[in-house]
Chains A and B, each alone.
Chain A
Amino acid sequence: DAGVTQSPTHLIKTRGQQVTLRCSPKSGHDTVSWYQQALGQGPQFIFQYYEEEERQRGNFPDRFSGHQFPNYSSELNVNALWLGDSALYLCASSIGRGASGTDTQYFGPGTRLTVL
């Protein structure tokens, strides 16, 4: 049973560029959440996708956008990158029952983004 997968593993970009990160959820899961984890800190919630729509958003600017595909995989896009976007980006999948998914979230290995 494949767990949550993310690609790429590492990424280096320069300021002002745009980046796309990808996530495939655990088999049987239909909900994807994205988190940003700065060095030495706990993860912070960016947004969650369910049924191909953004269900909830954390305190992140519009430069951060996402998408969920019919097969439940998801992308995180970040535009106009700046140094402060350097972080580990984690994807978590779960089963979204009804309006709020209460099931446990399972995490992928993350994508390390470095902005120079």
Chain B
Amino acid sequence: AQTVTQSQPEMSVQEAETVTLSCTYDTSESDYYLFWYKQPPSRQMILVIRQEAYKQQNATENRFSVNFQKAAKSFSLKISDSQLGDAAMYFCAYRSPNNNDMRFGAGTRLTVKP
């Protein structure tokens, strides 16, 4: 079964600086999807970024980018120019194309210091 591991329970970053959140996963599949979701105190899970495993190019969404290392089964999220509104729980998630559930990591709590 696929598992997702986030080894950093908490991270902290100074406003306007850059932070990287780590995620590793375990799978025997060659094709799959990876996601980063943000969950602020309001509880709503918000999609940050998505990566298809067959794509070599790392996904980017404004200040958010990923470093996808397929061979290493690593999928880290980089947040540039951190803002106070980025403070939240961040969850990494894996989804198989032949399966309908998403496997989530335990999450990383990001604090942004002014």
Contacts and interface: CB of A to CB of B under 8 A. Distances in A.
Interface in B25-52: 33, 35, 37, 42-47, 50
B97 A107 contact: no
Contact of B99 (A35, A56, A88, A104): A56
- Contact-size category for B: 20 to 34
A42 B33 contact: no
B102 A105 contact: yes
Interface string B98-114: 11111111110000000
B37 A107 contact: yes
Contacts of A109: 42-44
A104 B45 contact: no
Contacts of A110: 43-44
Nearest to B52: A102
B91 interface: yes
Interface in A15-50: 33, 35, 40-45, 48
B40 to A, nearest CB: 11
B53 to A, nearest CB: 12
A102 B44 CA distance: 21
Which of A43, A92, A106 neighbours the largest number of chain B CB atoms within 10 Å of its CB? A43
Nearest to B92: A42
Given A42-B93, A101-B100, 14 more contacts: A33-B101, A41-B106, A41-B107, A43-B45, A45-B100, A90-B45, A92-B45, A100-B99, A102-B33, A105-B102, A107-B37, A107-B44, A109-B44, A110-B43
Sort A-B residue pairs by CB-CB distance and give the 7 closest, nearest first: A42-B104, A45-B101, A107-B45, A56-B100, A109-B44, A48-B100, A110-B43
